Amino acid sequence: MTKSIVLAVNGTKKTINVDPEEPLLYVLREEFGLNGPKFGCGLHQCGSCLVLANGQSSYTCRIPCSDFEGKKIETIEGLSKKGKLHSLQQSFFEVQAAQCGYCVNGMLISALELLRKNPNPNNHEIREALNKVICRCGTHSRFIKAVKKAADSQSKF
Amino acid sequence: MKISKVDRRAFLKTTGHLLIGFNLFPLVNCSPYEEDSNLTKPYNGIPVRPHAGKDLIDSWIRLDAEGHVTVLTGKKELGQGIRTALIQIAADELEVDIKRCHIINGDTGQTANEGYTSGSNSIEGSGIAIRQAAAEVKFFLLQLASEKLQAPYENLMVKDGWITSPDKKKTSYWDLVNGAYYEKSITGKAQILDINKHKYVGKPIPREDILHLVKGDAHFVHDLRLPGMVHARVLHPPSYGAKLISIDSTAVRALTGVLKLLIDGSFIAVIAEREYQALKAWEKLKEVTVWEKPTINPVPDRLFADMRSKTQKPEIIQETPNISKQLTISPIRLKSVYQRPYQMHGSAGPSCALAKWENDQLTVWSPTQGVYPLQATLADLFQMDSEKIRCIGIPGSGCYGHNGADDVSAEAALIAKHLPGKHVRLQWMREDEHQWEPYGSAMIMELEAGVSKEGLIQVWDSKIWSDSHSTRPRGEAGHFVSARHLGNPFPFRKGGFSGGAYRNATPLYDIPDVRLQLFNYDGPLRSSALRGLGAYANIFALESFIDELAKASGVDPFTFRIHNLKDERAIAVLEKLKEKTKWNALERSKNKGYGIAFAKYKNSAAYFAVMVEVEKITEKEAFKLKRMIGVIEAGQCINPDGLINQTEGGMIQSASWTLMESIKYDEKGILSKDWNSYPILRANDIPGVEVHVINRPELPPLGAGEAAQGPVAAAIANAVFDCTGTRVRELPITAEKVER
Ligand code: FES
Ligand code: FES
C-alpha cells in the first residue's frame, strides 16, 4: 500500500509515493539518489545508516520513512555548500581519516551531532559520540583526531 | 569482452590509432560504465580497451594526445590506498604532474591478470611493473624527441611531460604520440629514475578518494545504480549443509513488487523491483521454509581436542638433523601451547554485487579481490567460455581477505540469469555476512625451545594444527558457497592446505636447530584467508614464547630479541622502538604493564615492532589497553601517510581480534550473527596509537598491509603478563582469563 509522504532532505522538500512502512534508508537511496547513508546491519548496531533528524542522529535502517515526516533530515551530501567542503569534511580529508570508508558516513553524522551541541568536546566525549559506529578497518584514532581538529578550527557547525 | 591480440591490433590499425597514446572512441560494447550509471566515468581521454599481455607497455600505462596518463593495474583498491601509491610511482617515473594521472584497476575487460590483491603483494608486484612500464614509455618517447629536436637523448630535460633540448627547442609526450601508432614491449632496458629526483614517491600524497567519501559521492559497489536495476536477496540455509525440505511460496509470490522467486535445490533467491520489497520477501521466506539441518561437530569446547585427535601424520615443513638431541640438552627449556579460535573478517558493509546477462554474455560488477580468478570460476559455474564473462572490480566495504565478495558475485550472476537483460543488484544481509563468510581458521601452536646460558636460542620446535587458510575460488565453482546448494551441486574440494597455515611459524631469530610440523585439520566451520592468514596466530605464539624464554633467561625482552637476531633491519626496527617508547624510562608501577613483539611479515615483507601498554583499572576490568606504539620498515616507502594509516588500522583491528573476538556456534549453527553476538572494538576502547616509519628509499618496497596483525597480539599478551602476572595463551585475551 503506497501513500504520499513529504520528506525534507537537505533543505529540499519532496513528495514521494511509497509504502509508509519502508525504512527511511531505502527511500533516501532510491528516491533521493543519496549514497551517504548505507546499509550495514539493519539492526541499529553499526551506525552506517545514520542521518540527522532535527539535529539528532537517527538510524534509518528500520524506522519507517513516515516517522520522518515533518522532520528536518540532513545527510552528509548536504554538508558542503557551493562546492566548499564543510569544516568537518575538510578535517576528515586533511587527517586522511578513512581506509575503505564504509563507516565514514556514520562517523561524520555522529561527530556533527556532537559538535553542534558541544563545540569543544574532550577526548572522552568524542569517543562516546563515535562509539555507536562500527569501523572494521580500525580507523578510529584518525576519526577521533579529525573531530578534535574540526573542533579546534573554531568553525560553525 | 576480451578480444584477442590479433583482433585488437587489426582494430586499432584500421581505426588508424596507436598504442602508447591516443584519442579513440571507446569500443562501444566494452564500456563498464553503461549510460546513466552514476559512478565516476572515465574521462574521455582514455578509451576502454582490453589489455593484450603483461609484456606490452600499454597493459600498464597509456598516454593520450590530450595530456592524460592512464595507469592500469589488476590490483584492487581495498581501502589500502593502492590507487594513490601506484599513481605516485607512475607520475614520478614519467616526470609528469600527478594531476594528469588516472587509474583503472581490476577489470577483466581492461587490466592485466594479476591474480588476487592479497598477501601485501601489490606494491611489490604491480608497483614494480608500472614503474618499469613508465620508464619504458619515457625512454621510448625521449628517443623520438631526440630525433625530432635534433639533440642527444642524454641532454634532454623533462618537466611535466614537456621535453626541452639544450638549445631550448620544445616538444611534449602528447605531441609525440599524437596521431601515431606505437605498440611497444617492455624491454627491461629503460633506466629507472634516480630516487633523488622523486617528487611524489616518499611523500604523503593525500588519497583523493577520501574527498569523495566525505562528500557521500557514489564510491562503493553498493552505490552503483544501473538502468532498470532490480533488487535481490538470497535466503541462505540456516546452517552449513542444511537441505530445503519444503517451502510454501504463495505468500511470498503475492507480495508487492516481487518479480521472481528462484528455488534451485537449497538455493533460494527473490527478485523485486525495490530493495525494501526484496527485503520483505526475504523475511517472509524465512517463515515459510522448512529445513533439514545436520549438526555441527565438534562444538567449541571440544574443538581443540578434536584437532589433535583427528589429525594424523604431520607434514614436516622443516627439520634440522640435531633437533631431537638439542631439545634434551639446552640448559633452559620451555614448552607452551597457544590457541586461537575461529575469527571473522566482519566487513562493515555486507557484500554486494551486480550482474547482467545479455546475449549469453555475463557482466559482473564485483567487490572481489581478484577479477580474473572470479571470471575463471564463474566460467566453471556456468560451463561457459570465460571470454564471455567480464568482471569489473568496484570497491566494496573493506574485506581483509576472502569475505563474502566472491560468493555474492556468483549469486548475483546465478540470479540475473533468470532475468536476462536486467541489471540485478544483490546485497547480503548482516547475518549472511556474519554466518556465511569463510572465517580465519582456529589453530593450535605447540612450541618448545632451548636457550643457552648466554641467552642464545639453540633450538626451536613447533607443531601447528590448522584448517585451510585459502579456499578462494580459483576456477572450481564449488568454492562459491551457493554453488554447493544448487539442485545440481558443485563439489567442494578444499585443497589449499598448508602454505598459509605456517606463515611466519619459522622464527627469524638465528637458531641452529629448527623443526616445523604441520597437522592439517578439516574443521567444522568454513575457513579461508583472513588478513595475515596463519601469521597472526603463529606470531602471537612465537612472540609470546620469546617473551617467556626471555623471562626464563632473566634477560630484558629487547635485549633478548636483539641478541638472537642477525638481520640488521630487524635490529634497527627494534632499536627504534626502544628509543621511541623510552623503554628504559617507562613508569613501572604495579598497575602498568608493557609488552613488545616483532616480526618480519612472511619473513620476506615488512618489518614491524610494537610496544603495548596496559593498565589495571578496576578489579572488575582486570586490564585495559592504553597505548600502542609501532615501528614499521617496508623498504622504500611510497606514501608514508598511507603506510601509517594502514598500519594503525591493522594494529587496531588486531587489538580487536586479540581482546574480544571468537566465533560462537553450537551444534545447531553459527550464533555470531550480528555485532551484539560478535562484538568488536569501538571508539570508547581504542588505545592511543602511534606509528613510526623507517624509510629506506634505496631498497625495494615491501608489502606492509598485514605486518601489524601478529605482533600486536603477542605484545598485548606480553603486556597483560607484565601487568597481571597471568600468561594468557588462548585468544582472545579477555578479563575472565586473567587471574585476580
Ligand atoms: S545499518 Fe542501521 S545501524 Fe547498522
Ligand atoms: S574505514 Fe573501513 S569500516 Fe571504517
Domain assignment of residue B133, yes or no: yes
Distance B347 CA to ligand 2 centre (A): 9
Distance A107 CA to ligand 1 centre (A): 12
Cross-strand bridge partners of residue B289: B247
Over range B237-244, report the average pLDDT. Answer: 97
> Do B348 and A139 count as a contact with CB atoms less than 8 A apart?
no
> Do B684 and A127 count as a contact with CB atoms less than 8 A apart?
yes
- Its pTM stands at 0.93
Alpha helix segments (H runs only) across B264-310: 275-288, 300-310
Q: What are the Cα distances from residue B330, in Å, to A57, B513, B566?
A: 63, 11, 21
Residues B448 and B554 occupy one common structural domain: yes
Nearest to A35 among B216, B256, B655 (CB): B216
What's the DSSP call for residue B21? B
Domain assignment of residue B312, yes or no: no
Domain assignment of residue B135, yes or no: yes
Looking at the predicted structure, is the pLDDT value of residue B39 above 50? no
At residue B181, the pLDDT reads 63
Report which of B613, B644, B614 is spatially closest to residue B631, judged by C-alpha positions.
B644
Q: Tell me the count of A-B CB pairs closer than 8 A.
A: 176
Residues A16 and A73 occupy one common structural domain: yes
Q: What are the Cα distances from residue B428, in Å, to A41, B129, B263?
A: 10, 36, 17
Compute φ and ψ for B154, nearest 5 degrees.
-65, -20
Mean per-residue pLDDT over chain B, rounded: 90
Of the pLDDT bands very low, low, confident and very high (cuts 50, 70, 90), residue B80 is confident
- CB contact, 8 Å: B686 with chain A? yes
Residues A144 and A91 occupy one common structural domain: yes
Element (H, E) at B270: strand B267-272
Which of B167, B191, B211 is at the close of a domain?
Answer: B211
Residues A71 and A95 occupy one common structural domain: no
Q: Using DSSP, state whether B252 is helix, strand or coil.
A: helix
Question: Which residue type occupies B234?
Answer: V
Atom of ligand 1 nearest to the CA of A38: 1
Residues B529 and B450 occupy one common structural domain: yes
Counting residues of chain B whose pLDDT is more than 70, the rounded percentage is: 90
Residues A9 and A61 occupy one common structural domain: yes
Domain assignment of residue B333, yes or no: no
Which stretch of B33-42, B194-203, B556-565 has the lowest confidence by average pLDDT?
A: B33-42
DSSP β-ladder status, B101-105 and B69-73: parallel
Looking at the predicted structure, is the pLDDT value of residue A139 above 80? yes
Compute φ and ψ for B104, nearest 5 degrees.
-120, 125
Report which of B225, B350, B348 is spatially closest to residue B282, judged by C-alpha positions.
B350
Greater model confidence, B702 or B433? B433
Residues A25 and A73 occupy one common structural domain: yes
Of the pLDDT bands very low, low, confident and very high (cuts 50, 70, 90), residue B61 is confident
Any atom of ligand 2 within 6 Å of the Cβ of B440: no
Which stretch of A32-36, A40-44, B183-187, B646-650 has the lowest confidence by average pLDDT?
A: B183-187
Nearest to A26 among B38, B276, B650 (CB): B276
> Do B397 and A136 count as a contact with CB atoms less than 8 A apart?
yes
Which of B211, B229, B252 is at the close of a domain?
Answer: B211
Any atom of ligand 1 within 6 Å of the Cβ of A102: no
Distance between CA atoms of residues B557 and B381, nearest Å: 53
pLDDT tens track for B128-150: 888 888 898 899 889 999 999 99
Domain assignment of residue B347, yes or no: no
Residues B646 and B612 occupy one common structural domain: yes
Distance between CA atoms of residues A149 and B109, nearest Å: 43
**CA-only gyration radius of chain A, Å:** 15
Domain assignment of residue A41, yes or no: yes
The residue behind cell 604431520 is: B314
Q: Using DSSP, state whether B199 is helix, strand or coil.
A: coil
Distance between CA atoms of residues B611 and B606, nearest Å: 17
Residues B507 and B591 occupy one common structural domain: yes
Residues B190 and B261 occupy one common structural domain: no
Q: How far apart are the first and last CA of chain B?
A: 64
Residues A24 and A73 occupy one common structural domain: yes
Distance between CA atoms of residues B700 and B352, nearest Å: 36
Q: How many domains does chain B have?
A: 3
Residues B123 and B266 occupy one common structural domain: no
Q: Are A114 and B232 in contact (CB under 8 A)?
A: no
Domain assignment of residue B91, yes or no: yes
Any atom of ligand 1 within 6 Å of the Cβ of A26: no
At residue B497, the pLDDT reads 57
Name the grid cell of B139: 625512454
Residues A8 and A66 occupy one common structural domain: yes
Distance B175 CA to ligand 1 centre (A): 53
pLDDT tens track for B556-575: 999 999 999 999 999 999 99
Touching A: B residues 134-193, CB under 8 Å: none
Of the pLDDT bands very low, low, confident and very high (cuts 50, 70, 90), residue B48 is low
- Ligand closest to the CA atom of residue A97: 2
Distance A124 CA to ligand 2 centre (A): 21
Nearest to B683 among A26, A76, A130 (CB): A130
Domain assignment of residue A72, yes or no: yes
CA B148 to centroid of chain Cα atoms: 46
At residue B50, the pLDDT reads 61
- CB contact, 8 Å: A83 with chain B? no
Residues B423 and B462 occupy one common structural domain: no
Which of B403, B427, B451 is at the close of a domain?
Answer: B427
Angle between helices A104-117 and A87-95 (to 10 degrees): 130
Domain assignment of residue A45, yes or no: yes
> Do A43 and B207 count as a contact with CB atoms less than 8 A apart?
no
Domain assignment of residue B42, yes or no: yes
Q: ipTM score of the complex?
A: 0.98
Looking at the predicted structure, is the pLDDT value of residue B31 above 50? no
Atom of ligand 2 nearest to the CA of A101: 1
Any atom of ligand 1 within 6 Å of the Cβ of A59: yes
Min Cα–Cα distance to chain A from B623, Å: 18
Which of A78, A110, A130 is at the close of a domain?
Answer: A78
Residues A110 and A138 occupy one common structural domain: yes
Three-state SS annotation for A48-108: CCCEEECCEEECCCCCEHHHHCCCEEECHHHCCECCECCHHHHHHHHHCCCCCCCCHHHHH
Domain assignment of residue A157, yes or no: no
Residues B536 and B510 occupy one common structural domain: yes
Its domain, for residue A60, covers: 3-78
Of the pLDDT bands very low, low, confident and very high (cuts 50, 70, 90), residue B498 is low
Q: Using DSSP, state whether B589 is helix, strand or coil.
A: coil
The CATH number for B557's domain is 3.30.365.10
Domain assignment of residue A11, yes or no: yes
Q: Please report the beta strands in B81-146, taking only residues with DSSP state E, as ranges in sequence order.
A: 101-105
- Nearest residue in chain A measured CA to CA from B217: A35
Residues B231 and B188 occupy one common structural domain: no
Mutate to test the interface with A, among B215, B657, B672 (most CBs of A within 10 A): B215
Name the grid cell of A57: 542522529
Looking at the predicted structure, is the pLDDT value of residue B338 above 90? yes
Over range B596-608, report the average pLDDT. Answer: 97
Domain assignment of residue A143, yes or no: yes
Which of A46, A78, A110 is at the close of a domain?
Answer: A78
Report which of B542, B546, B539, B547 is spatially closest to residue B722, judged by C-alpha positions.
B547
Q: How many domains does chain A have?
A: 2
Which of A29, A52, A78 is at the close of a domain?
Answer: A78
Residues B192 and B234 occupy one common structural domain: no
Distance between CA atoms of residues B108 and B417, nearest Å: 20
Any atom of ligand 2 within 6 Å of the Cβ of A139: yes
Name the grid cell of A76: 552528509
Distance B101 CA to ligand 2 centre (A): 26
Contacts of B396 in chain A (CB under 8 A): 100
Over range B220-225, report the average pLDDT. Answer: 96
Its domain, for residue B142, covers: 8-211
Domain assignment of residue B309, yes or no: no
Our CA angle for B349, B352, B355, nearest 5°, is 170
> Do B686 and A22 count as a contact with CB atoms less than 8 A apart?
no
Residues B414 and B464 occupy one common structural domain: no
Question: Which residue type occupies B104?
Answer: I
Q: What are the Cα distances from residue B359, in Å, to B381, B385, B420, B516?
A: 18, 13, 8, 53
pLDDT tens track for B262-314: 999 999 999 999 999 999 999 999 999 999 999 999 999 999 999 999 988 99
Distance between CA atoms of residues B256 and B277, nearest Å: 7
Q: Please report the beta strands in B394-544, taking only residues with DSSP state E, as ranges in sequence order.
A: 424-427, 443-451, 457-466, 513-520
Any atom of ligand 2 within 6 Å of the Cβ of A133: no
Residues near A24 by beta carbon (within 8 Å), at least 6 away in sequence: A7, A51, A60, A63, A64, A65, A67, A68, A73
Cross-strand bridge partners of residue B62: B70
At residue B679, the pLDDT reads 98
Name the grid cell of B248: 510454501
The CATH number for A71's domain is 3.10.20.30
Over range B318-338, report the average pLDDT. Answer: 96
CA B480 to centroid of chain Cα atoms: 18
Residues A71 and A121 occupy one common structural domain: no
Nearest to A45 among B655, B656, B674 (CB): B674
Residues A68 and A13 occupy one common structural domain: yes
DSSP code per residue over B202-245: TS-PPPTHHHHHHHT-S-SGGG---TT-EEEEEE--SSTT-EEE
Name the grid cell of B386: 570465460
Handedness of CA B703, B705, B708, B713 (dihedral sign): negative
CA dihedral B641, B645, B646, B650 (to 10 degrees): 150
At residue B64, the pLDDT reads 75
Q: Are B424 and B271 in contact (CB under 8 A)?
A: yes
Residues near B218 by beta carbon (within 8 Å), at least 6 away in sequence: A35, B38, B39, B40, B224, B225
Looking at the predicted structure, is the pLDDT value of residue B22 above 60? no
Over range A123-130, report the average pLDDT. Answer: 98
Q: Are B409 and B377 in contact (CB under 8 A)?
A: no
Residues B277 and B207 occupy one common structural domain: no
The residue behind cell 566482519 is: B346
Looking at the predicted structure, is the pLDDT value of residue B73 above 90? no
- Nearest residue in chain B measured CA to CA from A38: B349
CA dihedral B716, B719, B724, B729 (to 10 degrees): 50
